[in-house]
Structure 1
Amino acid sequence: MNRPSLAGIHHLKFAVSDLDVSLDWWERAFGGQRQPHWDHTFPDGRLFAYMLLVPGVDAPVELRLAPGSALVAGFDSIVFAVETREDLEGWAKHLADVGIDNSGVLRGFLGWLLVAREPDGNSLRLYTNETHDWDVEGADVHNPWVASLERDRL
């Protein structure tokens, strides 16, 4: 098949209900750095998005003011990678130190993970590149931080 190619991810976009509250969370959680020269405004000057650079993420992150779309609380559409379980433990401590509630280190099917919820209630996961044996029985699938939402249960 002769199909055009992709060139990676241009940027990640998160719908938020409050730009400043979300910016503060991303700064504290991940060291996000707002890029004011990339702020998105309407022709009348109204601001509707911040663009951030986040250490360790190869694509910019957009915080888009979209209150109606921000209401998908609990779903985790983005999973960031960390190298080891020890790194993940460092993230759990860092997030707690900056006042961000998180799951702590949980056991996944193949590695370890951590979940934090941003101000609109959407979950972000960190998952290790380090693995353990495939473990359906020992995975923390019933932990409230990772259990399927009632609306999504099959």
Structure 2
Amino acid sequence: MSEFPPLGHVALTVKSCDVSRPWYQALFGTQPVIDEDTGPWYHVVWALPGGGLLGIHEHPGTPKEDTFDEVRIGLDHVSFHCGSRSELEAWKVKLDELGVKNGGIKDAPYGSGLSFRDPDGNALEFFAAPAN
């Protein structure tokens, strides 16, 4: 076995792919590479730069009143890495243009982050490491 393999994909559970698909499509600025009902669930998947995939899954048994909560066991958030703080600032402008509520850019010694949520409350972030 060689070194640990890179992250391949992340799949987020949503209440409705019909609601979340256009939101993610606007965020990513691209069409999904998969959009299908597999029987046990419906899923939509986007190819991200660097080879990773992000998917949304709609499961028939998910309670429609349920929302994401990062303080429960499981996923805390999904982060997309930016090459610089100026790239992070450009994403802040894009989120504002899309009408996506966000927490503004927060700076810390380990880097700068911009937190926001999808329509189901899944926690997402753009992050830039500090400049060297």
TM value normalised by structure 2: 0.78
CA contact (8 A) 1:110 1:131 kept: no
Q: 1:5 to 1:87 in 2, by over 3 A?
A: closer
User: What CA deviation, in whole Å up to 9, does each residue of 1:39-97 have, x standing for no partner?
Assistant: 2421xxx861112223x3521111111334x6323564211110111111100001111
Once residues 26 and 50 of structure 2 are traced to their aligned partners in structure 1, the CA distance between those partners, rounded to angstroms, is: 15
4+ residue stretches of structure 1 with deviation over 4 A? 3-6
Q: After superposing the two structures, state which structure 1 stretch, 112-121 or 95-104, moved more.
A: 95-104
Once residues 95 and 68 of structure 2 are traced to their aligned partners in structure 1, the CA distance between those partners, rounded to angstroms, is: 22
- Residue of structure 1 in register with 2:100 after alignment: 100
Once residues 19 and 79 of structure 1 are traced to their aligned partners in structure 2, the CA distance between those partners, rounded to angstroms, is: 21
Q: Which runs of 5+ in 2 are unaligned?
A: none
Once residues 50 and 35 of structure 1 are traced to their aligned partners in structure 2, the CA distance between those partners, rounded to angstroms, is: 8
User: Is residue 35 of structure 1 aligned with residue 33 of structure 2?
Assistant: yes
CA contact (8 A) 1:92 1:105 kept: yes
CA RMSD of aligned residues (A): 2.6
Q: 1:40 to 1:11 in 2, by over 3 A?
A: farther
CA contact (8 A) 2:41 2:57 kept: no
How many residue pairs get aligned? The number is: 125
TM value normalised by structure 1: 0.68
- Residue of structure 1 in register with 2:43 after alignment: 49
Q: Which of 19, 22, 28 is the equivalent residue of 1:21? A: 19
Counterpart AA for 1:105: I
Q: Percent identical across equivalent pairs? A: 23
CA contact (8 A) 1:74 1:121 kept: no
Based on CA coordinates, which of the two structures has the bigger radius of gyration?
Answer: 1
TM superposition shift of 1:4: 7.1
Q: 1:89 to 1:4 in 2, by over 3 A?
A: closer
Once residues 4 and 30 of structure 2 are traced to their aligned partners in structure 1, the CA distance between those partners, rounded to angstroms, is: 26
TM superposition shift of 1:107: 1.2
Larger strand fraction of residues: 2
